[in-house]
């Protein structure tokens, strides 16, 4: 017995006439009659008392009530699953974060796990060199971006306009202070965030690295460390190659594997403690974003 047979019987029960019910169903009258007879044989009881007058048996009336309940439940289930299916297909445009600090690797691992669970949702990676994240989200160039700390605000976007989803950073790995051998902190076995007071941090001036500078500003508030920020007008690689002996950078193991770092002589990487207080990456998207695939992304990120 299938759902169509249940539907046929409920239509017949409303009409109490094989010809009219068959017409409403768009099938031949003998076909409807044979379907109901087959149902009676399968069920083991009579649904219809044939003759004049034709009528539904008491068992048939109760069965009709149950059929209508089953059909209503089936219809609700189908609609629910259709809505769910809409959320689990499509594409999400993701603004690729900077490579520094192990952030990119952390994001890549998250996206791989997401796509393993939702293979019908594709990830399109977007990278803008000359637009701040707030403009990228506003223009719809990306659905989702990443900020390095939930307390970093985006220009022109109010807090109630966005949703933040924590990117759990347990696997972010160690950080180091990359310093010249002549720097006072170079001889330390490890460095605390409070030791960074007065350090001159070098940042690329590209808009893509604006988040790093914001993190430096935030450190002054969260940790009480007053640092000096120096902007380099070139690329990140040029920034590394042109670093002054008095200037420092925070790096990860991933960063140190980049060729540019190996080309600078007289530098050491001293382990830096406490970065988890400062680097708390979050995915960010506009609440006004109507991409249905965002809900799947949100659900996955909140687990």
pLDDT (0 to 100) of residue 5? 93
| Residue carrying structure tokens 């600078």 | 264
Q: Where are the alpha helices (DSSP H) in 173-280?
A: 210-222, 236-241, 253-256, 259-262, 275-278
Q: Where are the alpha helices (DSSP H) in 44-162?
A: 58-87, 103-117, 133-138
pLDDT (0 to 100) of residue 257? 87
pLDDT (0 to 100) of residue 93? 95
pLDDT (0 to 100) of residue 287? 95
Fold (CATH) for 175-278 = D-Maltodextrin-Binding Protein; domain 2 (3.40.190)
Assess whether the region 91-170+281-301 and the region 175-278 belong to the same CATH fold.
yes
pLDDT (0 to 100) of residue 211? 65
User: Residue ranges of the domains in the chain?
Assistant: 3-86, 91-170+281-301, 175-278
pTM confidence score: 0.67
- CA dist., res. 57 & res. 280, Å (int): 69
Fold (CATH) for 3-86 = Arc Repressor Mutant, subunit A (1.10.10)
State the DSSP H helix or E strand holding residue 250, giving kind and residue range, or none if neither. strand 247-252
pLDDT (0 to 100) of residue 26? 94
pLDDT (0 to 100) of residue 94? 94
pLDDT (0 to 100) of residue 283? 94
Fold (CATH) for 91-170+281-301 = D-Maltodextrin-Binding Protein; domain 2 (3.40.190)
10-residue mean pLDDT series, the chain (303 residues): 92 92 93 93 93 89 94 90 74 85 82 92 85 90 90 83 85 85 95 89 73 70 77 81 91 87 94 85 93 91 88
């Amino acid at each position: 017995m299938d759902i169509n047979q249940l539907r046929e019987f409920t239509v017949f029960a409303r009409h109490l006439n094989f010809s009219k019910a068959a017409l409403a169903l768009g099938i031949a009258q003998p076909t409807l009659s044979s379907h109901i007879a087959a149902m009676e044989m399968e069920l083991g009881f009579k649904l219809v008392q044939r003759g004049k007058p034709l009528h539904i048996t008491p068992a048939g009336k109760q069965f009709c009530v149950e059929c209508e309940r089953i059909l209503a439940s089936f219809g609700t289930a189908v609609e629910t699953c259709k809505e769910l299916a809409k959320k689990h297909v499509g594409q999400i445009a993701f603004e690729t974060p900077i490579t520094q600090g192990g952030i990119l690797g952390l994001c890549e691992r998250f996206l791989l796990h997401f796509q393993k669970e939702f293979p019908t949702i594709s990830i399109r990676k977007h990278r803008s060199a000359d637009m701040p994240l707030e403009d990228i989200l506003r223009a719809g160039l990306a659905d989702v971006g990443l900020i390095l700390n939930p307390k970093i605000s985006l220009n022109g976007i109010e807090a109630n306009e966005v949703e933040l989803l924590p990117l759990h950073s347990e696997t972010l790995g160690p950080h180091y202070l990359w310093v010249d051998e002549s720097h006072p902190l170079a001889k330390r076995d490890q460095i605390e965030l409070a030791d960074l007071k007065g350090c001159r941090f070098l940042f690329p001036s590209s808009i893509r690295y604006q988040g790093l500078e914001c993190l430096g500003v935030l450190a002054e508030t969260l940790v009480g460390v007053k640092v000096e920020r120096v902007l380099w007008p070139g690329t990140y690689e040029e920034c590394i190659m042109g670093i002054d002996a008095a200037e420092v950078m925070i790096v990860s193991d991933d960063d140190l594997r980049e060729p540019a770092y190996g080309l600078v002589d007289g530098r050491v990487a001293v382990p830096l403690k406490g970065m988890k207080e400062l680097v708390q990456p979050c995915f960010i998207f506009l609440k006004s974003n109507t991409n249905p695939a965002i809900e799947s992304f949100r659900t996955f990120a909140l687990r």
